[in-house]
C-alpha cells in the first residue's frame, strides 16, 4: 500500500472509531489500539505534509457535538495531551523540556472517564460542559450538578473555571449493569462508556441514580491563582473539590519513571479505572517557555498504561438462548489469570463480532478485561493458527432445534420456535422477577423445577398452581410452608400495576420504561388493542422499532387469547385514576418549545402524559396547548397565529400542582 492510501485508510478507521465511540457510545476498538492508530497517522502526516487535509481526525481534539444539549463555546479551548507509550518516549519528552529549562514534575493518575469544564461565579456552581471538540462542548450543567462529590458552593467566593474527569466507580458500574441485565437492556462495555452514556441523559434524575463521581485536576488560566500545579491542586482541595490523592511531586526523569511504575501496580487495586499517568511541569512560569504544538502543550503528556493481556485458547464456542430467543455465542476458554481473577468464558456477542475478528475454535487469542471487569477477546494470534475451519454460525436452536433467523438490520439471531423451552423458562423468570410481577418465591431455580415437572409451561399456568398444592408439597425442596408462601405471593402479584404486567409479558423491545410510557398513554389494554401503528409511533419517546414490536404482538391471535386469560385471572390491564380523568390536561395535545428552567423536556413530557395529555412535535390546528419556555421562537409565533392556548412555565407548574 502506498503512503497516501495508508493515510486515507487510517483517517477513515479513526473517523469510524471516533463516531462509534463519541457519538454512539459503542466503541469499535480498544482505546489502546485507537491511540496506536492515531499516533501512526500523526507520524505519517508529519513525514508527508503534502497529504495535509483539514478534515483529518488529527485536526480535531476529538468528538462531535450532539444536538440534544445546548452548545457552549469556550474562551480557552480544552486541549488534549500528547501520548507516550514506553520509557523511551517518556524520556524523550522530558529531555526535550530539559533542553529548554530544568523542571520539576507532578505525576497524576489519568482517570478513565470524561473530561468536563466547570465554571463557578463568586464561589457558586454555574455551568458545566463536555469537552466536545475542545472549543465547543455540550451544556451538561444539570447532570453534573447531581454528582455527589462536586461542591455547589466553594469554600471561598472565588470566580474560577476548573477541569475534571467524570467517571463511574466500579461499584456503580456493576450495579447498573446488573439492573440492565435484569431488564434485558444492552450492557455497557466498561465504566467509561457507562459514564458517557449517563452524562448524555436528558433526565438528570437518571444521572443522579447512577452515582457518577469526579476528580478535579486543573484550573483554567492557573497563573491568575497560583504559581505551580502543586499549589493549584492544594487550592482545589481547599476550595472543596475532590482531588485525587495520588498526585506525586518528582524532581527528575528517573523519579518520574519510578512513580509511573508504582501507579501501574497501584491502579489494579483502585475502585475506579485509570488508563495512564499524566506528567506535567510543575512551575507555571515555564509553560510559555516550553510552548505548545497546534494540538497540545509541550509541558505535559499522558503515559498510557498497557492493559493487562493474557493469551489462552478457545476450546469451544457455545450458545446461550435468552428469553426473547436471542442467541449469544460464548467463548469457552482454557482458564487463564487476568488482572487478578481466573477467566474461563468471554461473550462473543453475535455472529458479526466473531466474523470481524475471525475467531475460530482452537485459536490462540489475546484477552483482557474491558474496564478491568468484563473479559473480552481482543484479537486472534494468527501465527498460532493451525488449520481450523472458519467459524460458522449455528442455524438451529441449541435448546429446541428450531431454525434461527436474523432480522434485517439486527446483528442477533433468534430462535423462531415460539414454544422453545429456553424462551419459556426465560420468560417465566422474567415475569416473576422483582422488576416485573415481583413474585418473590418464584426464583430461577423454582421456575426451572416447576417447568421440568410440567406444572408451569406458560405465565397463565402460574395462576393455576394453587390447584396442585398437595402435589407441590411433596416435591424435593418444597414443603408446606414454602408452597403456601409461593401461592400467597402469586395471589398478591395480581395487584401489580398494568405497566409491570405489560413489562412482565416480555415483549421484544418493551423494557420497564417503555411499558410505563405506553401505559401512561393508552391507560388500558383495550385502547392499546385498538391503536394503529401510527398512533403508537406518534407517542413521544417511542421509536419505530418499539412501535412495530408492540403492534405485531397485539395482532397475534395467540397473544390476544393469552392476555384475555390473564384478564380473567384478575391481572391489571388498565389504570383507574379519577384524578387523571378529570384533569384539564387529559386528552389534550401539547407542543413544547423554548428552554424550561425547572424541568427537562423529557420530564415535562412525562408529567403531561401522566396527566393524560400527549406531546407532539409540531404546532397545528389540533394543538391544544403550547408550553413555551424562554427563548421560544417560530413555534410560539405559529401557535399565536392559530390561537393555541400558550402556557408559560409558571402557569404550567400551577396547573400540575393543583
Residue 330 interacting with Zn ion (CB under 5 A):
no
Q: Which is nearer to Zn ion, 317 or 547 (CB)?
A: 317
Per CB under 5 A, 397 contacts Zn ion: yes
Cβ of 511: how many Cβ atoms within 10 Å?
Answer: 16
Distance CA 325, CA 413 (A): 8
Nearer to Zn ion, 256 or 415 (CB): 415
Task: Name the minimum Å distance from CB 506 to Zn ion.
Answer: 15
Q: Write down the least CB distance from residue 320 to Zn ion, Å.
A: 11
Nearer to Zn ion, 423 or 523 (CB): 423
DSSP label of 61: S
Least distance from C-beta 383 to Zn ion, angstroms?
Answer: 38
Min. distance of Cβ 552 from Zn ion in angstroms?
19
Q: Report yes or no: 159 and 122 within 8 Å, Cβ to Cβ.
A: yes
Cell triple for 332: 469457552
Q: With contacts defined by CB under 5 A, name the span among 11-19, 360-368, 413-421, 455-463 that binds Zn ion.
A: 413-421
Segment interacting with Zn ion, rule: CB under 5 A, options 147-155, 408-416, 432-440, 616-624: 408-416
Determine if 399 is a binding residue for Zn ion (CB under 5 A): yes
- For residue 489, the 8-state DSSP code is H
Interface with Zn ion includes 611 (CB under 5 A)?
no
Question: SS3 for 397?
Answer: coil
Q: What's the rounded Cα separation, in Å, for the pair 485 and 479?
A: 10
Stretch that binds Zn ion, among 271-279, 309-317, 399-407, 551-559 (CB under 5 A): 399-407
The residue from 60, 110, 119, 516 that is catalytic is: 110
| Binding region for Zn ion (CB under 5 A) out of 330-338, 368-376, 394-402, 634-642 | 394-402
Residues 96 and 84: their CA atoms lie apart, in Å, by: 13
Nearer to Zn ion, 319 or 521 (CB): 319
Q: Are strands 625-628 and 645-648 parallel, antiparallel or unpaired?
A: parallel
> What does the DSSP assignment read for 591-636?
EEESB-SSS-HHHHHHHHHHTT-EEESS--TT--EEEE-BT--HHH
Distance CA 155, CA 547 (A): 51
Q: How far is the CB of 420 from Zn ion (least distance, A)?
A: 3
The smaller minimum CB distance to Zn ion, of residues 147 and 420, is found at 420
Give yes or no for a contact between 136 and 72, defined as CB atoms under 8 angstroms apart. yes
Angle between helices 31-47 and 3-18 (to 10 degrees): 140
Active site residue 122: no
Question: How many residues contact Zn ion, by CB under 5 A?
Answer: 7
Least Cβ distance, residue 274 to Zn ion (angstroms): 43
CB of 41 to Zn ion, least distance (A): 46
In this chain, which of 29, 283, 400, 580 binds Zn ion, going by CB under 5 A? 400
Query: Nearer to Zn ion by C-beta: 318 or 616?
Result: 318
φ and ψ of 543, to 5 deg: -85, 170
User: How do beta strands 625-628 and 589-593 pair?
Assistant: parallel
Kindly list the distances between the CA atom of residue 587 and the CA atoms of 113, 271, 285, 620, in Å, as whole numbers in the listed order: 44, 49, 66, 16
Cβ proximity to Zn ion: between 403 and 492 the closer is 403
User: Alpha-carbon Rg of the chain, whole angstroms?
Assistant: 29
Which one of the spans 258-266, 400-408, 471-479, 550-558 is the region binding Zn ion (CB under 5 A)?
Answer: 400-408
DSSP, collapsed to helix, strand or coil, labels residue 259 as helix
| Nearest distance, CB of residue 324 and Zn ion, angstroms | 11
Candidates 344-352, 401-409, 463-471, 648-656; binding stretch for Zn ion (CB under 5 A): 401-409
Distances (CA, A) of 608 to 88, 535, 590: 61, 17, 8
Is 327 an interacting residue with respect to Zn ion (CB under 5 A)?
no
CB 521 within 8 A of CB 614: yes
Task: Report how far apart the first and last C-alpha atoms of the chain are (Å, whole number).
Answer: 71
Task: Tell which positions 414-453 bind Zn ion, by CB under 5 A.
Answer: 415, 417, 420
Nearer to Zn ion, 174 or 394 (CB): 394
Which residues of the chain form contacts with Zn ion (CB under 5 A)?
Answer: 397, 399-400, 402, 415, 417, 420
- Residues catalogued as catalytic: 110
Amino acid at each position: 500500500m502506498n503512503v497516501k492510501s495508508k493515510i486515507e485508510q487510517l483517517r477513515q478507521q479513526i473517523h469510524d472509531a471516533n463516531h462509534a465511540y463519541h457519538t454512539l457510545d459503542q466503541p469499535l476498538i480498544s482505546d489502546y489500539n485507537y491511540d496506536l492508530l492515531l499516533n501512526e497517522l500523526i507520524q505519517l502526516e508529519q513525514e508527508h505534509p503534502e497529504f495535509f487535509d483539514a478534515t483529518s481526525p488529527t485536526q480535531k481534539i476529538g468528538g462531535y457535538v450532539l444536538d440534544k444539549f445546548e452548545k457552549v463555546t469556550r474562551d480557552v479551548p480544552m486541549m488534549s495531551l500528547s501520548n507516550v507509550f514506553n520509557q523511551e518516549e517518556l524520556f524523550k519528552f522530558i529531555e526535550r523540556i530539559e533542553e529548554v529549562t530544568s523542571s520539576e514534575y507532578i505525576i497524576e493518575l489519568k482517570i478513565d472517564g470524561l473530561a468536563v469544564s466547570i465554571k463557578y461565579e463568586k464561589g457558586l456552581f454555574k455551568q458545566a460542559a463536555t469537552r466536545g471538540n475542545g472549543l465547543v462542548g455540550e451544556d451538561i450543567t444539570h447532570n453534573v450538578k447531581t454528582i455527589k462529590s462536586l461542591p455547589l458552593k466553594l469554600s471561598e467566593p472565588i470566580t474560577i473555571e476548573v477541569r475534571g474527569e467524570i467517571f463511574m466507580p466500579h461499584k456503580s458500574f456493576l450495579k447498573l449493569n446488573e439492573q440492565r441485565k435484569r431488564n434485558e437492556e444492552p450492557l455497557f462495555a466498561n465504566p467509561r462508556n457507562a459514564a458517557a452514556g449517563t452524562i448524555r441523559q436528558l433526565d438528570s434524575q437518571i444521572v443522579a441514580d447512577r452515582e457518577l463521581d469526579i476528580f478535579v485536576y486543573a484550573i483554567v488560566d492557573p497563573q491568575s491563582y497560583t504559581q505551580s500545579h502543586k499549589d493549584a491542586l492544594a487550592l482545589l482541595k481547599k476550595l472543596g473539590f475532590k482531588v485525587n490523592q495520588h498526585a506525586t511531586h518528582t524532581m527528575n526523569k528517573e523519579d518520574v519513571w519510578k512513580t509511573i511504575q508504582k501507579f501501574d501496580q497501584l491502579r489494579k487495586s483502585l475502585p475506579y479505572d485509570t488508563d495512564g499517568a499524566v506528567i506535567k511541569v510543575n512551575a507555571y512560569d515555564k509553560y510559555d517557555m516550553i510552548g505548545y504544538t497546534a494540538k497540545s502543550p509541550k509541558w505535559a503528556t499522558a503515559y498510557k498504561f498497557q492493559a493487562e493481556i493474557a493469551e489462552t485458547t478457545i476450546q469451544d464456542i457455545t450458545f446461550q438462548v435468552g428469553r426473547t430467543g436471542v442467541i449469544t455465542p460464548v467463548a469457552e476458554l482454557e482458564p487463564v489469570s487476568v488482572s487478578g481473577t481466573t477467566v474461563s468464558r468471554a461473550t462473543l456477542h453475535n455472529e458479526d463480532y466473531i466474523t470481524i475478528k475471525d475467531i475460530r475454535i482452537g485459536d490462540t487469542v489475546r484477552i483482557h478485561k474491558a474496564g478491568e471487569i468484563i473479559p473480552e477477546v481482543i484479537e486472534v494470534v494468527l501465527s498460532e493458527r493451525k488449520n481450523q475451519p472458519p467459524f460458522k454460525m449455528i442455524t438451529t436452536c441449541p435448546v429446541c432445534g428450531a431454525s434461527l433467523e436474523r432480522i434485517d438490520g439486527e446483528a442477533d439471531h433468534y430462535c423462531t420456535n415460539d414454544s422453545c423451552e429456553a424462551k419459556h423458562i426465560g420468560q417465566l423468570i422474567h415475569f416473576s422477577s422483582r422488576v416485573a410481577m415481583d413474585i418473590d418465591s418464584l426464583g430461577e431455580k423454582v421456575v426451572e423445577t416447576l417447568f421440568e415437572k410440567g406444572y408451569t409451561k406458560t405465565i397463565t399456568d402460574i395462576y393455576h398452581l394453587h390447584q396442585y398444592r398437595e402435589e407441590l408439597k411433596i416435591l424435593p425442596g418444597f414443603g408446606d410452608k414454602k408452597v403456601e408462601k409461593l401461592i400467597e405471593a402469586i395471589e398478591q402479584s395480581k395487584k401489580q400495576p398494568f405497566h409491570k404486567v405489560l413489562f412482565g409479558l416480555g415483549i421484544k423491545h418493551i423494557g420497564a420504561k417503555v411499558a410505563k410510557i405506553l401505559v401512561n398513554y393508552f391507560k388500558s389494554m383495550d385502547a392499546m388493542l385498538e391503536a394503529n401503528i401510527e398512533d403508537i409511533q406518534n407517542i413521544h419517546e417511542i421509536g419505530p422499532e418499539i412501535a412495530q414490536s408492540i403492534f405485531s404482538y397485539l395482532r397475534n391471535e395467540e397473544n390476544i387469547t393469552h392476555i384475555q386469560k390473564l384478564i380473567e385471572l384478575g391481572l391489571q390491564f388498565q389504570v383507574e385514576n379519577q384524578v387523571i380523568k378529570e384533569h384539564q390536561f387529559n386528552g389534550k395535545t401539547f407542543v413544547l418549545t423554548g428552554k424550561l428552567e425547572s424541568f427537562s423536556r423529557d420530564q415535562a413530557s412525562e408529567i403531561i402524559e401522566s396527566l393524560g395529555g400527549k406531546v407532539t412535535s409540531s404546532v397545528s390546528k389540533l394543538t391544544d396547548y403550547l408550553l413555551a419556555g424562554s427563548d421560544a421562537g417560530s413555534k410560539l409565533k405559529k401557535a399565536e397565529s392559530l390561537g393555541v392556548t400558550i402556557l408559560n412555565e409558571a402557569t404550567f407548574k400551577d396547573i400540575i400542582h393543583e
